[in-house]
A and B are shown apart, each in its own frame.
Chain A
């Protein structure tokens, strides 16, 4: 898929769908790293990962609220919504690979790249001219001269959504139309969503939409790359960095120099899960294969429940919470099972079973 600068509601919908896909894309790698931790070890790391995942879920829901507010309908079940891992995300001039793997230093390096504050060096140059890498999550951007551009970073992608929202809103208001014409009953409100990872914002106008974008950007990257976000919470980048540097941040710290309590990370205490596992890594007709298929099917079902919840049945979020807990248990069981015939390698959940076995990825 490729995008143009947001000049129409149709383009805006495409961007917001891409945002949903993007916010979801980080969840499988984070979840797998979290679930791979050996029980009773690395409780600090587990807590840090958990906090970030909870906030990513919030971001996903905020993206759904934005899309609903401008008359779109979130769809999380279509083929390709779950990226085929490894996938790629932008990091300034280049892309980097995001895969599914056990908790490790290498996994943390990737997570830091995902969350790294990266605005383009100069205003208005939020794009990079280079060919699209295979499996990139973010769509490319088609320049007016029809050359393919890339977002410099996730931050630039959201920047464009914010810009598009503002300009469409102004244009339409001038014509006496309302960009935010979506049915407010489709909004996910605090009645239905409570996580502790920040409050859900119902999106009903330009202000609330920009507020949602601000929250997503700042929880990930902090304010302009600062350690803390608007709510005074540490941004994802610096949360992860605490694990790498082995120390918590405390108020008053400078970036990259946390001075709080030490964190002991046991980098070796994780199940050795198969990196970017696919269904055909598991012997046909084995209990393991069946369990992996079950996991993938349940994961699709969860995305289906979320889709319904985001399409006028917000009460279903309660059921989705139960599904998430069940999926966690299934993932843990997979991760603790060695793969027959692969010495010292354990199974891992496969999040998209449809594209994982044979066939082409869309």
Chain B
């Protein structure tokens, strides 16, 4: 694949666009711009530029051989473009700063969210839930008096959601998804049919559908509902007015015949072995196939330079050959427009490290992530846990409602993969049976079936609001091995979110009661995610949905980018991704940031075309 350019050639080229980051935002924008004839350079800090199945296989083998199978375990250790890893998270004492790993944690709460710095970005490890945000999520301030309003609404974003659902290849049925005001348009069907609900989902639906919850005087009736996912299922023949949809399989220069359809490997995160799950590499491969996109991997953008006119003049980089050596070269790249698509943490980090905090002072602030409260139990009968994709269904009915004036909304994901996220199961269960219960032989096998096949984990994903005190900063003392400043995170959870957490815990108790399941949930005060709220203790996990560090808005003093994700301060600079989102509601951020990328790309194309017209006119006069 024609993807590699050398640094000298790149340095001597003025690109139409320079994109920092090859994740989903960067890849979509690269594809859209190159489809329109523009010449694009993509800088990627991490390795992974091979578009072959054997290269992907190496990720898989690394995952198999890793004693700790965390989100980033398939991806190589790389001190030149380090990534946060959940096992690095430590409990923070009040006032303590933990700088022992890449992500410096200032607290008060330690956050275990991660992202992935390889070609394809965090979509290499994402779970691929692809929910749209609700119409009300865009109007939190005007409807509920909390958070921020977006400068655009659901209806404006809807056509771009469609593009994103095509690009990511979403499997879902509209009949399941048109709740809480989400309008899909009369004729719409998703590219592929919904993933079949798991045996566990069906057991839960039988017992839990119709459960009523009263919040602020309103009654909500709950249902177990199929979750949209960016993973290959059965194409819907009715898609695109009957033209159908062809799933995109494994990224490969040789025919691989893989990734056609999900096989139920129960390992969406951190790596789908057959690439049935969408990753940005699928989009990037299409972009590279235009022949107008150059990719420089192992090239870390280190500084954004602004000229006297306020426009970005060039980006400085540090390029390394060997991830285990800090030996590197530096250089600069130029373009008509610049796009930072390095995720909410790294975008903010790069701007701040470049001495560009912005006139609004908001770069790095309003950091958001979904707060996950995990609850877990044992179903009374065999539930066939540990099979399928990680989640096929959830409870969505409390994603919206008037109660959002007072407390956070949340959704409940039903996990098919057992208690692993919460307890380290099945490894911890095996240890317990062998080391503590002294079981062996047939007795051990019976215990394993009895424990593991009845596991249910309800992951309550609770919304967070933009809070200026939650933020990314940089300081001179914290640098990585290339000398780039590391991100420092200050993070706490508001009472608004905790009220949602507490409500979610109470609901999960009722659900287990109704199921007749044993509620095995416990929260340890020594856990790094432990939070006390109104006399009860909870453990909060991160959702890896970093957002808000360069929020969009209507006014330059109160936002970093406009509704096109263009910087208010630097007119040829776009900061894209979840960092632009003023609120995150209860949808995983990827589908929305993909839709935003399509929207922004459209405006970039317009801008570049205008520029072309002006230069042509100037040349002709």
Count of chain A residues near B, Cβ 8 A: 20
* Interchain CB contact (< 8 A) of A248 among B53, B57, B254, B259: B254
B602 within 8 A of A: no
Task: Tell me whether B84 is interfacial, beta carbon within 8 Å.
Answer: no
For B61, the closest partner residue in chain A by CB is: A40
Bound: A248/B255 CA distance, A:
11
Instruction: Provide the main secondary structure of the chain B interface.
Output: loop
Specify the chain B residue showing the minimal Cβ separation from A51.
Answer: B257
Question: What residues of A have a CB within 8 angstroms of the CB of B263 in the complex?
Answer: 325
Asked if residues B54 and A196 are in contact (CB atoms below 8 Å), the reply is no
A135 within 8 Å of B (CB atoms):
no
Residues of A within 8 A of B249 (CB): 196
Q: Which of B235-278 contact A (CB under 8 A)?
A: 235, 237, 244, 247, 249, 254-261, 263
Partner of A195, one of B57, B61, B237, B257: B257
- CB neighbours (8 Å) of B234 from chain A are 191-192, 194
- Most chain-A Cβ atoms within 10 A of its Cβ — which of B247, B249, B257, B260? B257
Is there contact, CB below 8 Å, between B235 and A194?
A: yes
Give min CB distance, B294 to chain A, whole Å: 21
In the bound complex, residues from chain A placing their C-beta under 8 Å from that of B247 are 194, 196
- Number of B interface residues, CB 8 Å? 19
On chain A, the residues within 8 Å of B61 by CB distance are 40
| Chain A positions within 8 Å of B244 at CB level | 190
Max chain A CB contacts within 10 Å: which of B61, B255, B256? B255
Whether the Cβ atoms of B237 and A190 lie closer than 8 Å is yes
On whether the beta carbons of B54 and A197 are closer than 8 Å, the reply is no
Min C-beta distance of A63 to chain B, whole Å:
19
Expressed in whole angstroms, the minimum distance between the Cβ of B264 and any Cβ of chain A is: 9
User: With the chains together, A319 CA to B259 CA distance in Å?
Assistant: 18
Contacting residues, chain A, for B256 (C-beta < 8 A): 47, 51, 196
A50 within 8 A of B: yes
Q: Is the pair B57, A43 in contact by a Cβ cutoff of 8 Å?
A: yes
Once bound together, how far apart are the Cα atoms of A325 and B265, in whole Å? 12
User: How many angstroms from the CA of A43 to the CA of B54 in the assembled complex?
Assistant: 8
Nearest A residue to B233, CB-CB: A194
Identify the closest chain A residue to B246 (Cβ): A199
* SS class, residues of chain A in contact with chain B: loop
Contacting residue for B257 out of A54, A189, A192, A325, CB 8 A: A54
In the complex, whether A44 has a CB less than 8 A from a CB of chain B is yes
Q: When the two chains form their complex, are residues B260 and A195 in contact, meaning their CB atoms are under 8 A apart?
A: yes
Bound together, the chains give a CA A165 to CA B23 distance in angstroms of: 52
Interface positions of B from 17 to 64, Cβ below 8 Å from A: 53-54, 57, 61
Is B257 a contact partner of A196 (Cβ separation < 8 A)? yes
Contact present for A47 and B259 (CB under 8 Å): no
The listed residue (B57, B235, B237, B255) touching A51 by CB distance below 8 A is B255
Chain A nearest Cβ from B213, distance in angstroms: 35
**Given that A190-B237, A190-B244, A194-B247 are contacting pairs, would A44 and B54 also be in contact in the complex, using a CB cutoff of 8 Å?**
yes
Chain A neighbourhood of B259, CB < 8 A: 196
Task: Give the nearest-CB partner of B64 in chain A.
Answer: A40
Q: Which residue of B lies closest to A198 (CB)?
A: B257
Known interface pairs A47-B254, A248-B254. Does A194 touch B54 (Cβ–Cβ under 8 Å)? no
In the bound complex, residues from chain B placing their C-beta under 8 Å from that of A212 are none
B196 smallest CB distance to A (angstroms): 8
A195-B260, A325-B263 given; A233·B54 CB < 8 A: no
Asked if A334 is at the interface of the complex by the 8 Å CB criterion, the answer is no
The answer, yes or no, to whether A234 is at the interface (CB within 8 Å) is yes
With both beta carbons as reference points, the residue of chain B lying nearest to A50 in the complex is identified as B257
B57 / chain A contacts, CB cutoff of 8 Å: 43
- In the complex the two chains form, is B260's CB within 8 Å of A190's CB? no
Minimum Cβ distance to chain A for residue B63 (Å): 14
- Report Cα–Cα, A191/B233, bound state, in Å: 10
CB pair B261 A194 closer than 8 Å: yes
Contact yes or no, A233 B255, CB < 8 A: yes
Contact of A194 among B53, B255, B258, B260 (CB under 8 A): B260
- In the A-B complex, the 6 residue pairs with the smallest Cβ-Cβ separation, listed nearest first, are A196-B260, A196-B257, A51-B257, A196-B249, A54-B257, A197-B257
Query: Can you add 12 more A-B contacts, CB < 8 Å, to A51-B257, A54-B257?
Result: A43-B53, A43-B54, A44-B54, A47-B256, A51-B255, A190-B244, A192-B234, A194-B260, A195-B257, A196-B249, A197-B257, A234-B255
17 residue pairs of the A-B complex, CB under 8 angstroms, read: A43-B57, A47-B53, A47-B254, A51-B256, A51-B257, A54-B257, A55-B257, A189-B237, A190-B244, A191-B234, A194-B235, A194-B261, A196-B257, A196-B258, A196-B259, A234-B255, A325-B263
Chain B residues close to A by CB (< 8 Å): 53-54, 57, 61, 234-235, 237, 244, 247, 249, 254-261, 263
